[in-house]
Amino acid sequence: MHIKGSAVTVATKLALGSVQFGLDYGISNQSGKVTSSEVSKLLSLASQLNIKVIDTASSYGDSEKVLGQNTERNQFSYLGKISPRCSPSGYSEEATASLTNLNANQFECLSLHHGDVLSSHDGKAHYHALERLKLDGLTKYIGCSLYSVEEALTLTEQFNFDIVQIPASICDQRLFEGDALQILSERKVAVHIRSVFLQGLILMSPDQLPEKLKDAKPLLLKLQEQAKQENVSIASIALSPFVNHPLIEQIIVGCVNRQQLTEILDSYEMAKTLDIDTAQFAIQDLDIIDPRNWS
């Protein structure tokens, strides 16, 4: 990771998401929660592939404990999140418990799980409690997990976050609109993106879509055709708008087995070489690009 002028870098922007290690998660996930044995093998492979950053949260079931049980101390850097149910007075206790579960000394970044708490009556107290964790050395950086680049612009104007995590995918390219990324860069805020495969939706067969997402079929067919033309994977095309972008520092991806992880890394390397018009895949239908609307 490279943040705020740090000399520390990794060879890949990919960070490993861990929600599947603690919960049954993902619209395309047919195998459910990943077993502890498979997590151990996945983490070993991730380390070999130079993926050194893991995204997790106290609200991801028992994922923190599973990670801690299957890693050496400080083998990975962790991007953690404070539970949205935690009161400001409980931040230190929760962060300490999470580090114990993870078998780690310090978070790389600890974020608020949602920006909503900042607009509550004690919003400033939440921010200052998070800031205190940085001052106390429990985390190197502080951040906020958000749902839009507009929210990121608003909150980083009010609060001094080091990192924002926002959703983005080849069909949800709203973060590229206007000069939002440049503004965040000028504010010295690193941008991490999640949901790059839309919980696996982008990689699904068009014929396997659930009824509520049938409107995504034309997009998936278009991606299939482009992948066929380029002789590359759909994942490569899905990653291509982000892998070389200088203002996107981390791309969080989830997987449930070693084969998926290897395929994602291969696609990541291929994506670096692609030169295609990815704007053609951007859509505005929030019922497709925002998983909160899928239920």
Q: What's the distance, CA 68 to chain centroid?
A: 19
Instruction: State the distance between the two ends of the chain, measured CA to CA, in whole angstroms.
Output: 34
Q: What is the pLDDT of residue 117?
A: 92
Closest CA to 105 of 136, 62, 132: 136
Give backbone dihedrals phi and psi of 139, rounded to 5 degrees, phi first.
Answer: -145, 145
Q: What is the pLDDT of residue 7?
A: 33
Is it the case that residue 54 has pLDDT exceeding 70? yes
Q: What is the pLDDT of residue 29?
A: 44
Task: Quickly state the pLDDT bin for 24 (edges 50, 70, 90).
Answer: low
Q: Is 295 contained in some domain? A: no
**How far apart, in whole angstroms, are the C-alpha atoms of residue 101 and residue 68?**
6
Average pLDDT for 252-263: 94
Q: Is 157 contained in some domain? A: yes
In this structure, are residues 254 and 63 in contact, taking their beta carbons and an 8 Å threshold?
A: no
Q: Is 243 contained in some domain? A: yes
Secondary structure letter of residue 172 according to DSSP = B
Average pLDDT for 73-90: 94
Amino acid at 132: R
Amino acid at 227: A
Task: Quickly state the pLDDT bin for 248 (edges 50, 70, 90).
Answer: very high
Q: What is the pLDDT of residue 27?
A: 52
Is it the case that residue 10 has pLDDT exceeding 90? no
61: domain CATH number is: 3.20.20.100
Average pLDDT for 241-254: 96
In this structure, are residues 272 and 205 in contact, taking their beta carbons and an 8 Å threshold?
A: no
Q: What is the pLDDT of residue 120?
A: 87
Q: Is 288 contained in some domain? A: no
**How far apart, in whole angstroms, are the C-alpha atoms of residue 42 and residue 110?**
23
**How far apart, in whole angstroms, are the C-alpha atoms of residue 173 and residue 274?**
17
Q: What is the pLDDT of residue 12?
A: 81
**How far apart, in whole angstroms, are the C-alpha atoms of residue 54 and residue 232?**
27
Q: What is the pLDDT of residue 268?
A: 96
Task: Quickly state the pLDDT bin for 60 (edges 50, 70, 90).
Answer: confident
Q: Is 6 contained in some domain? A: no
Task: Quickly state the pLDDT bin for 30 (edges 50, 70, 90).
Answer: low
Task: Quickly state the pLDDT bin for 144 (edges 50, 70, 90).
Answer: very high
Is it the case that residue 31 has pLDDT exceeding 70? no
Q: Is 206 contained in some domain? A: yes
Greatest mean pLDDT among 22-31, 204-213, 218-227 lies in 218-227
Q: Is 9 contained in some domain? A: no
Q: What is the pLDDT of residue 182?
A: 98
Q: Is 24 contained in some domain? A: yes
Is it the case that residue 43 has pLDDT exceeding 80? yes
Handedness of CA 35, 199, 260, 47 (dihedral sign): negative
Q: What is the pLDDT of residue 11?
A: 53
Percent of the chain at pLDDT above 90? 84
Percent of the chain at pLDDT above 70? 94
Higher pLDDT, 143 or 3: 143
Domain span holding position 30: 14-281
Q: How many domains does the chain have?
A: 1
Mean pLDDT value across the chain: 92
Average pLDDT for 47-65: 92
Q: What is the pLDDT of residue 2?
A: 42
**How far apart, in whole angstroms, are the C-alpha atoms of residue 34 and residue 250?**
23
Q: What is the pLDDT of residue 22?
A: 86
